[in-house]
Amino acid sequence: MRLFIVSITIIFSIFIGNSQELKSPNGALIMRFSLEANGMPTYNLSYKSKPVIKSSRLGFLLKDDEKSLMNDFTISNTETSSFDETWEPVWGEQKEIRNHYNELAVTLTQNETERKVLVCFRLFNDGLGFRYEFPAQENLVYFVIKEEKTQFAMTGDHTAFWIPGDYDTQEYDYTESKLSEIRKRFDSALTGNASQKQFSKTGVQTALMMKTDDGLYINLHEAALIDYSCMHLNLDDKNFIFESHLTPDAIGDKGYMQAPCKTPWRTVIVSDDARDILASKITLNLNDPCVIEDTSWIKPVKYVGVWWEMITGRSSWAYTDDLPAVQLGKTDFSKVEPNGKHAANTAHVMEYIDFAAKHGFDGVLVEGWNEGWEDWFGKSKDYVFDFVTPYPDFDVEEIHEYAKSNGVKMIMHHETSGSIRNYERHIDKAYQFMKDNGYDAVKSGYVGNILPRGEHHYSQWIVNHYQYAIAKAADYQVMVNAHEAVRPTGICRTYPNLIGNESARGTEFQAFGGSKPNHVTLLPFTRLIGGPMDYTPGIFEMEISKLNPNNHSHVNSTIANQLALYVTMYSPLQMAADLPENYNRFLDAFQFIKDVAIDWDEGIYLEAEPGRYITVARKEKGANKWFIGNVNGVDARTSNIKLDFLEAGKKYKATIYADAKDAHYKTNPQAYTIKTKKVSSKSKLSQLSVPGGGYAVSIEEIK
């Protein structure tokens, strides 16, 4: 990875007075920091002279400490600086990323206690990042956070796209409402999915997307979540003030700190153009540079897998249904009657390897290969997986050799069952087992309650575990795709072996009752702000009952929409999630999935409106090939775009995969058209997108 430092200017100054102003490099954003009369730190933010964040308080409540870190501060020092660099990610939406900001660091000293807190603000052209730092000091060494009291005071009753502030899952459909309506819409937003209901009925998760009545787009999130609890936001819906609410641990504490230390960055991305929110790289830029010296083994992956058939109920993860015969990991499965539905068997996996090799896919994921699923599905609280013991019908060595001979990599699956300590005990042996058998990537899962203490999925201790697993994987040159883990906050810049996460409502919910047809027009504005998602697109058979007569779910999407997701839902890890038999029925449409790139030199957001539509054009890394994806919400519309991003003077062939005129996500999802035409940088494209539909385009230069 190359790094180009363009300019760094540092200015040291002693702060005089109680306020200071910081401008973005282009002057459009202005942040003002000040102390109230009682010594309470506050900030506000404006964009093009419009207020974005009104005066908002900063600080902490500490456990067992009558004196909070909220007020009685004076400003003892300030430092200002400007920074401008261009760096190259290992993989990404573009070849180079500019990191350009102005910084203000304010050192606060509490009068009575002499405790020091530094608040660091970085103002980019597209938003603000700020964090707290606790320097080494005598009067504040070990402390426990009772609550972080960071505020984001909104200027009005904005439209918000939100999910409930659950401590254990992000797998919700998004609700669109005014801020004032969150409380009354909260119970219906849960949709029976809440892992627990201790959170506030005005609590929401980040990344939170909002739109003001006068056309500003605002996104609240966090960056570089390391050794700290995940932040949610509680809303004072009378005054429209969000306040941070950290995920508690098993006994209610929010964070165990030892100075010197720092918090994650709190981020506010703002623009009057929705496309700028999607294009922002603030989250990545606020993370540390890559710490992996040799990244040559980290490669984007397009894969198929033994997965969707289990999700739909057609097949089984478990080897047997004879639960009484299974004795908590001590059973000889060769003596147990198989259920005939176990999908992770050698012959069936070889069929997937054949399909992957034939169509040029990099890898094959197999779930349900290791012993123990019977106990886990049987709700045994004592059972934990060991990650190295296969069922008798899964021949690890034979599959390894067969995949290798076909030029296909196998992708490991580790379901931890939420037993963190057990996974950490086995992790070295599990990763070594992977390397010994040709697995370079792992999909890890954390389904269920966290064991043994009953922690929440997003508390400090568990966040630290996710980070430990990524760092340990890097030691073994293993890429990680973590499911049910904390939502990403740009850490993939520092550890690019984190090539994907789930951490949101993915395609699997289309087999669990469905997702809203506009769900994929919101994920890039929310979940993907922190990093790529393993969304698992590519479903061609929308009627799940055709795979499992007992499952009457419907995939709320058209085939053209599914194709477009490979472009609009950026990820270096992309799955063709449906069964091979369904792709064989629509090989002409499947061609786009085979052709589409997964690593890019450039990305351009052409159209965007949260909850309504997104259109993206991306240039394949190292090639003069472009791909366009458009996903549409619930209302039919005609997308109109210019192809002026193409190189002038050259001719191209465009292959357009689009909804048929009578297509509809519910009534006619498999109706699509494919046509080709010659285009150039002067061309325009006008294309219908039906409800829940979209289109995908591949563009290749005519030599």
What size, in residues, is the chain? 703
**pLDDT at residue 200, rounded to an integer:** 81
CA–CA separation, 372 and 336 (whole Å): 13
Q: 223 preceded by cis ω (within 30°)? A: no
Q: Which of 371, 455, 508, 620 is catalytic?
A: 508
Residue carrying the six token digits 């689009």: 658
Q: How confident is the model at residue 7 (pLDDT cuts 50, 70, 90)?
A: very low
Asked whether the beta carbons of 443 and 410 are under 8 A apart, the reply is no
Query: Tens digit of pLDDT for each residue in 427-441?
Result: 999 999 999 999 999
Cα(first)–Cα(last) distance of the chain, in Å? 32
DSSP string over 148-201? E--EEE-SS--EEEE-B--SS------EEEEGGGHHHHHHHHHTT--S---S-T
Q: Is the pLDDT of residue 574 over 70?
A: yes
What single letter denotes the amino acid at residue 18?
N
- In whole angstroms, what separates CA 611 from the centre of its chain? 17
Query: Tens digit of pLDDT for each residue in 167-203?
Result: 999 999 999 999 999 999 998 898 756 555 567 888 9
Query: Tens digit of pLDDT for each residue in 89-143?
Result: 999 999 999 999 999 999 999 999 999 999 999 999 999 999 999 999 999 999 9
* DSSP-assigned beta bridge partners for residue 22: 31
Q: How confident is the model at residue 1 (pLDDT cuts 50, 70, 90)?
A: very low
**pLDDT at residue 193, rounded to an integer:** 64
Rg (CA), the chain: 26
CA–CA separation, 26 and 571 (whole Å): 30
Return the DSSP state at 497: T
Q: Which fold has domain 3-285?
A: Beta-galactosidase; Chain A, domain 5 (2.70.98)
The residue ranking higher by pLDDT, 451 or 397, is 397
CA–CA separation, 340 and 285 (whole Å): 50
**pLDDT at residue 3, rounded to an integer:** 45
**pLDDT at residue 236, rounded to an integer:** 97
Percent of the residues in the chain that have a pLDDT greater than 90, as a whole number: 88
Q: Could you give the C-alpha distances from 517 to 505, 522, 590, in angstroms and in order?
A: 13, 10, 21
Q: What's the whole-number mean pLDDT along residues 395-413?
A: 98
Of 401, 468, 462, the C-alpha closest to 428 is: 468
Asked whether the beta carbons of 634 and 517 are under 8 A apart, the reply is yes
Worst-scoring range by mean pLDDT, 191-200, 284-293, 478-487, 584-593? 191-200
Query: Tens digit of pLDDT for each residue in 450-476?
Result: 987 889 999 999 999 999 999 999 999
User: Please, what's the b/e burial string for 332-353 (b: 16 or more CB within 10 A of its CB; e: otherwise)?
Assistant: ebeebebeebbbbbbebbbebb
**pLDDT at residue 6, rounded to an integer:** 47
Q: Is the pLDDT of residue 351 over 60?
A: yes
**pLDDT at residue 333, rounded to an integer:** 84
**pLDDT at residue 558, rounded to an integer:** 98
**pLDDT at residue 378, rounded to an integer:** 58
- Convert 381-410 into a string of H (helix), E (strand) and C (coil): CCCCCCCCCECCCCCHHHHHHHHHHCCCEE
Per the CATH hierarchy, to which homologous superfamily does domain 301-598 belong?
Answer: Aldolase class I (3.20.20.70)
Q: Read off the tokens for 66.
A: 């009558």
Asked whether the beta carbons of 682 and 614 are under 8 A apart, the reply is no
What single letter denotes the amino acid at residue 377?
F
> Active-site residue 93, yes or no?
no
**pLDDT at residue 66, rounded to an integer:** 82
Q: 397-400 long-range contacts, Cβ below 8 Å, gap at least 24?
A: 397/437, 398/346, 399/346, 399/349, 399/350, 399/353, 400/437, 400/438
CA–CA separation, 254 and 144 (whole Å): 7
CA–CA separation, 40 and 110 (whole Å): 10
Asked whether the beta carbons of 695 and 658 are under 8 A apart, the reply is yes
CA–CA separation, 228 and 263 (whole Å): 7
**pLDDT at residue 179, rounded to an integer:** 98
Worst-scoring range by mean pLDDT, 415-419, 564-568, 673-677? 415-419
Query: Tens digit of pLDDT for each residue in 41-73?
Result: 999 999 999 999 999 999 999 998 888 999 999
Q: How confident is the model at residue 311 (pLDDT cuts 50, 70, 90)?
A: very high
**pLDDT at residue 16, rounded to an integer:** 44
Q: Is the pLDDT of residue 631 over 50?
A: yes
What single letter denotes the amino acid at residue 443?
K
Give the residue extent of every domain in the chain: 3-285, 301-598
CA–CA separation, 507 and 488 (whole Å): 18
Asked whether the beta carbons of 82 and 102 are under 8 A apart, the reply is yes
DSSP string over 254-318? -EEEESSEEPPEEEEEEESSHHHHHH--HHHHTSPPP--S--TT---EEEEEE-HHHHTTSSBSS
Q: Is the pLDDT of residue 415 over 50?
A: yes
Contacts of 480 (CB under 8 A, 6+ apart): 441, 442, 444, 469, 470, 473, 497, 498, 499, 500
What single letter denotes the amino acid at residue 382?
D
CA–CA separation, 440 and 171 (whole Å): 27
Q: Round the average pLDDT of the chain to a whole number and report it.
A: 94
Q: What's the whole-number mean pLDDT along residues 536-561?
A: 98
Q: How confident is the model at residue 381 (pLDDT cuts 50, 70, 90)?
A: low
Q: Could you give the C-alpha distances from 186 to 151, 199, 203, 283, in angstroms and in order?
A: 21, 11, 9, 28
CA–CA separation, 536 and 579 (whole Å): 12
